[in-house]
């Protein structure tokens, strides 16, 4: 799978570091989405393991009752990452400029990405890095809803339906030899488009695509 050059384009093509220069201490999805994600983490993560929270912010949505050996964070705003109490360490890096992660091979039991996959301009390279840093048997969990910074999402994502976005992430995994066949969890919103747009409670659809390093 290889995105065409036009599919990688953003409406706002200025440096991403400028867009994320100031912190946003908000959650970008509703409480229903967050609870479903935390429950999913409870089911798929194990205590006392090593976690990489990619494209993170001031909250990771990890289960409060579950303790980990080490949680590495990554993002584009240092102030947000510094506020995140679950991170043992973090670094700032624009993956659209440099997708190579400064992390050792086979060093993490899980890689998490919450509502940020739509901003990756070179997902093939980034998913290759996810595979590299995962231990054999390690899990990658990519979650998303229908919210986004529209001007910063790539064209392939903006123009796709929710079902097509699931297929897009499955294709990202398939672009790297060695991932298992992805598992998909999809809970569509039962609210009308208008109520979703108005931000009504329970309106955010929940999607997760999960694969393991075989």
One pLDDT digit (tens) per residue for the chain, 214 residues: 689 999 999 999 888 888 888 777 567 688 888 999 999 999 999 999 999 999 999 999 999 999 999 999 999 999 999 999 999 999 999 999 999 999 999 999 999 999 999 999 999 999 999 999 999 999 999 999 998 888 999 999 999 999 999 999 999 999 999 999 999 999 987 665 555 555 555 578 999 999 999 9
What pLDDT was estimated at residue 11?
Answer: 95
C-beta neighbour count of 172 within 10 angstroms: 25
31-39: Cβ within 8 A, 24+ apart: 31/201, 32/201, 32/202, 32/203, 32/204, 32/206, 33/145, 33/204, 33/205, 33/206, 34/61, 36/187, 36/206, 37/61, 37/114, 37/143, 37/206, 37/208, 38/62, 38/63
Q: Identify the pLDDT of residue 43.
A: 97
Half-sphere exposure of 207 (CA within 13 A, CB side): 23
What element of type H or E holds 17?
helix 16-19
pTM of the complete model: 0.92
User: What are the structure tokens assigned to 164, written together?
Assistant: 């097509």
* Count of other CB atoms within 10 angstroms of residue 76: 22
């Amino acid at each position: 799978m290889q995105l065409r050059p036009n599919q990688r384009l953003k409406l706002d093509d200025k440096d991403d570091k400028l867009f994320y220069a100031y912190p946003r201490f908000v959650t970008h999805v509703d409480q229903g989405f967050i609870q479903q994600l935390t429950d999913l983490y409870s089911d798929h993560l194990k205590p006392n393991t090593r976690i990489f929270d990619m494209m993170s912010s001031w909250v990771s949505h990890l289960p409060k009752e579950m303790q980990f050996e080490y949680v590495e964070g990554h993002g584009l705003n240092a102030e947000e990452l510094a506020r995140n109490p679950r991170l043992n360490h973090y670094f700032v890096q624009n993956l659209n400029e440099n997708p190579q992660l400064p992390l050792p091979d086979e060093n993490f039991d899980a890689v998490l990405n919450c509502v940020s996959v739509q901003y990756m301009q070179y997902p093939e390279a980034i998913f290759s890095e996810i595979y590299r840093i995962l231990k054999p048997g390690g899990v990658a969990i990519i979650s998303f809803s229908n919210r986004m910074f529209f001007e910063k999402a790539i064209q392939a994502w903006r123009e796709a339906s929710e079902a097509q976005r699931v297929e897009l992430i499955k294709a990202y995994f398939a672009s790297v030899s060695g991932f298992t066949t992805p598992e998909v969890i999809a809970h569509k919103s039962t609210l009308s488009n208008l109520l979703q747009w108005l931000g009504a409670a329970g309106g955010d659809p929940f999607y997760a695509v999960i694969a393991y390093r075989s």
